[in-house]
Amino acid sequence: MTFTGAIFCGGASSRMGQDKASLLINGRPMVKWVERAIRGAGAADVFALGAHSDLGLRALGDKAPGSGPLSALVGALEELGDLLVCPCDVPLVSAELFSELWERATSVQASVVLVDSDQLQPLIGIYKASALPLLRKGLHGGAKGPKQVLTPSDFERIKASSQETLNVNTPGELEAAVSALRVREGTSADNLGE
């Protein structure tokens, strides 16, 4: 099973106060934890959406910078076709979750398969190119994200733990992610953090 992955890296990071994609956890930029999980699930290629190329990934620029993840998603689908997508700020996500997403996407007709933990995660999922008409319509209507466009009949969902989908938006959430990775990776506290 091979597929293409794309990581959203273009947000403002206003609550964190610095670029989240390049924040170091265990000596590795946060985006690299997500990339590792995507590649571990079988991705042949992984792109950074809306980002600069200094992240060590092939960058795919946003056609309309500052217009939200929907613009980046539409551009990536137009250029790359079917995609597994994930934001850069979920370092606890696993290859197993991505494998389960891809397996579900290949077994259903739905053009979108999303993760549902304690709430729907519209930026963690599989988007097929067949979703482009719906997503373009939303984008042209002023929507910034897929959650503003999709209705429950537009997608399938799989369950995931809320810890695995923890978004790191603040220094406190970064500490929680570092602690969870310490447990998961069996790494000493001295080697985690910036």
Domain that holds residue 43: 3-185
Whether 174 maps to a domain, the answer reads yes
The predicted-structure confidence for 97-106, as pLDDT tens digits, reads as follows 999 999 999 9
Cβ atoms of 182 and 145 closer than 8 Å = no
Cβ atoms of 4 and 58 closer than 8 Å = no
Q: What confidence score (pLDDT) does residue 189 get?
A: 44
Parts of the chain with a pLDDT under 70: 1, 11-18, 51-53, 187-194
Q: What confidence score (pLDDT) does residue 188 get?
A: 44
Whether 153 maps to a domain, the answer reads yes
Whether 192 maps to a domain, the answer reads no
Whether 16 maps to a domain, the answer reads yes
pTM: 0.89
Nearest to 4 by CA among 119, 114, 81: 81
Name the domain count of the chain: 1
Whether 7 maps to a domain, the answer reads yes
Whether 58 maps to a domain, the answer reads yes
Whether 194 maps to a domain, the answer reads no
Q: What confidence score (pLDDT) does residue 190 get?
A: 45
Whether 50 maps to a domain, the answer reads yes
Question: 111-137 as b/e, with b when 16 or more CB fall inside 10 Å?
Answer: bbbbbbbeebbbbbbbbbeebbebbee
CATH number, domain with residue 172: 3.90.550.10
